[in-house]
Amino acid sequence: MGSVASPTTLMLRRNGKPHSCEPCRISKVKCDHTTPICQRCESRGIVSKCYYHPAPLTKRVKPSPGSEDSQERPNKRKKPARRTKSPTVASAISPTNLECGLATDQSAYLGSTSFLSVFHDTVPQLSNIAIQPIPPELVRWQNRHLSLQSQLFRLLSAFDLYDRLIENYYDWGLFTIIPAPLILNSLRFTRRYMENEETSNPKQRNLYRRISQNTAKPLQLSTETTAEEFCHSFTGENLRWEFIGVIFAMAGLGAISGLTSPATNLAIRFDDGNELSRSSFAAQMVAASNDAIEISRQHEKLNDVMIWLEYTHCVLISMVLDERSHIVYRGFGTLISDMFAMGYHRHQPPGPGIPFFLSQTRKRIFAAAYRSDKNLATFLGRPPRIQHLYCDNTIPLDLDDETLMLNGEELNAAVEKLDADGWNPDKTQNGKFRSASVIRIRYMISAQREKILELSLGRKTDNSVEVLYSDTTRTAGKTFRPVSCIAMLVIYLEYLHSLFHIQRILCQQNIAAASSLLNTSMQLLTTVLHLLKQPEQPTETQTNFSWIFLFYGLPAAGVLATELYQSTLSAVPWPSSTPPRSQIIRDLGMIISWFETAALPINPTTRVCVEITKVLSKLLDDALNYQPSGPQQQEEEQEHPQRRQESQLRLLDQVDRARSTSQANIASGTGAAPGDANERRDPTRAEGEQSRQQQVCDNPEQAQPLLAPEAPEIGIGIDDQFTSEKFLSWLDDLDWDATVPDLLF
């Protein structure tokens, strides 16, 4: 039997009477208002069509000619308005947005630190690159109202698949945030409970109601609560929608990362013989976890498992959708609001109601969210949401996941082994870098990143940039050391990325700082390129390389290509204190060639990278093919280097005249799929470019060592081991079957 909706969740009409479900309202029969499914619809066998619309009399947006809806119902009268989904996903899936290709560009503000800001002066039209549409699988899923109940039934019939996806996600994941025992033990308890459930439809509907009833209850915690007791509080007989949503979100992460099989292009196969591509399955998991968030919010019982669900949902949706999508931005804002409501930003030592393992888990999630907030703010050039000024939460201890689950003397002994700053003397665990270690280091870098964002996007004093630059370079040698782990590469890139943005601010005040900016840009690009030098690159590595390049390599490549282009058109000699032109041309050519020829997976990140590498290619072509006019070049080469600043100030007009016939095509390109033969460069032009590059390399004056340790301009405050080939040589020994995790979150 169903349960009548409580007053806190019952939707009322203007006259005070409760809403009827849509089938009863359309049929004009009396509804008993039972949630989530009324008894009349259950008796009629139309459970999948039973839902409560919050505004049943609102008109549906008229579909445009040729759209999916207009083709499916050409001569039928309009159906009632569709059920409104939560703001996280549904608001951006309107027919208007779909027919315009999600034309949110007018509101998609990109600030001075965004990934496209380096092209602002040279190719201003790049800021109008359209955000990629919602994947068709996700659109159809939302528009057809496939209920959360059907996903629950699929979970019952294919729990082995979801279990395997999540377990492998933790086996291979390097940046996992939620301690593995909390998820894997809860998954085991849930599986044991569901295996004992009957699979008949009435029993499944009873399970649906039971989960909803459990979700309406608050979680009970105390200082003495053990990790196992905590897991039992939302699994088994106490199974809640929050954890069901976590299963969906993590299974989607495992699927989209291709963790269950070396052949990452294999489809997801269910026990009933049905198959789904990994991208389609991940899109369905986005919708399913979003539905779990929606139904959990109706009960307003905010708890730690809900925070887990929102965080994993944000990570998954950032991998399925375009990183610039407002859905990602808004969903992350909701996560931050709920963390503030739970007090995650305040220091919470183990005490009344908070056991040790949960206190450390909260610290991990907040530290990860703090870092994600700075990455997202930098990527989009928007103000960060989490201000360190209002947060006194401490970083998590450097303990492995299993240690957090201990109690009593065993736990005390493990904590006593840590040093005064909370670091573990054992740098790795079973040859793997601890998740807590990665979280701690990236949090420290993010604290510096917040200061950089304040300088880039906010107000700054006269000497604030110099002071921050000095602090960042002085402390680097104390924190970073090369270790045989891919996580260290990302941490090193984040450090260089922070220096890059500080030096961009310095260049706006003093052109003499351009040498340091070019050197740091070259270090960023060289580090990113080491990923391309691996002999074997599985599909997941290629996917994440697109992200690494977009976030870290693109701004650096843009600075180098723009500077090379500007110095050529303004006839200003290339300074000897910066990386040689030949090395810049070779490295940029390698990046461009890789994106043009590699068989890359088709996703929004890759499309943006391919689109922007066309701009890099055009800048490089124009710089190499530029013919100076008359003796003006020789006169300007004899001028003092200060003329460089004056030339750059007048450069924009020259750029517009020189590129008036090509910029429109570059900015309005549709970004065909990588590897498309139509998008590959002309072999004749490629051979010509290679010949010109070789001529530059033959110049002995320009064949100076790259990033020589004795060069004073490279003085960014880190040991020589970090700027040498030795630092990156450990990449050759890495197991490249492991997945580089998503970087934004």
Instruction: Say what the pLDDT of residue 472 is.
Output: 55
User: For 452-475, what is each residue's pLDDT tens digit?
Assistant: 888 877 766 555 556 655 665 555
- For residue 123, what are the contacts with CB-CB under 8 A and spacing of at least 6? 615, 619, 663, 666, 667
pLDDT at 572: 81
Confidence band of 189 (pLDDT split at 50, 70, 90): very high
> Is the pLDDT score of 127 beyond 60?
no
Higher per-residue confidence, 712 vs 292: 292
Q: What pLDDT is attached to residue 630?
A: 55
Predicted confidence at residue 680, as pLDDT, reads 36
φ/ψ bin of 744: left (φ > 0), alpha (ψ from -120 to 50), beta (otherwise): alpha
Q: What is the largest CA-CA distance in the chain?
A: 92
Residue-level pLDDT at 244: 95
- Tell me the average pLDDT across 332-359: 88
Work out the pLDDT band at 625, boundaries 50, 70, 90.
Answer: confident
Write down the pLDDT at residue 332: 94
Residue 520's CB is within 10 A of a number of other CB atoms, namely 24
> Of 15-24, 62-71, 394-403, 533-542, which gets the smallest average pLDDT?
62-71
How confident is residue 395, by pLDDT bands cut at 50, 70 and 90?
very high
Q: How confident is the model at residue 573 (pLDDT cuts 50, 70, 90)?
A: confident
58 or 229, greater pLDDT: 229
Q: Which parts of 445-566 are beta strand (E)?
A: none
pLDDT of residue 640 exceeding 80, the answer is no
The pLDDT of 165-175, averaged and rounded, is 80
**C-alpha span between 441 and 421 (Å, rounded):** 12
The alpha carbon of residue 9 and the mean position of all alpha carbons in its chain are separated, in whole angstroms, by 33
Q: What is the pLDDT of residue 233?
A: 96
Q: Which residues contact 664 (CB under 8 A, 6 or more apart)?
A: 125
d(CA 39, CA 50): 10
Q: Residue 306: what pLDDT?
A: 97
The C-alpha torsion from 495 through 457 and 579 to 628, rounded to 10°, is 160
In order of start, what are the domains of the chain with their CATH numbers?
3-49 (4.10.240), 136-434 (no CATH), 460-628+639-733 (no CATH)
pLDDT at 519: 87
- DSSP secondary structure string for all residues of 403-416: HHT--HHHHHHHHH
Cβ-based burial of 496 (10 A; exposed 0-12, middle 13-18, buried ≥19): buried
Choose the most confident range, by mean pLDDT, from 199-203, 362-366, 727-731: 362-366
Q: What is the DSSP letter of 146?
A: -
User: What are the respective helix, strand and coil percentages of the chain, to the nearest 5?
Assistant: 60, 0, 40
Q: What is the mean pLDDT of residues 640-647?
A: 47
Mean pLDDT of the chain: 70
For the chain, what's the residue count? 745
Q: What is the pLDDT of residues 510-543, one digit of tens each?
A: 766 688 888 888 888 888 887 766 555 544 455 5
Residue 584: pLDDT above 60?
A: yes
Quote the pTM value: 0.59
Report pLDDT for 17. 78
Residue 35 has pLDDT above 50, yes or no: yes
Three-state secondary structure string covering 689-707:
HHHHHHHHHCCCCCCCCCC
Torsion angles phi and psi, residue 32, rounded to 5: -90, 0
Q: Provide the pLDDT for residue 196.
A: 79
Kindly state the percentage of the chain with pLDDT values over 70. Answer: 58
What pLDDT, on the 0 to 100 scale, is given for residue 344? Answer: 93
User: What is the pLDDT at residue 409?
Assistant: 92
Q: Which residue has the higher pLDDT, 353 or 92?
A: 353
Percent of the chain with pLDDT over 90: 19
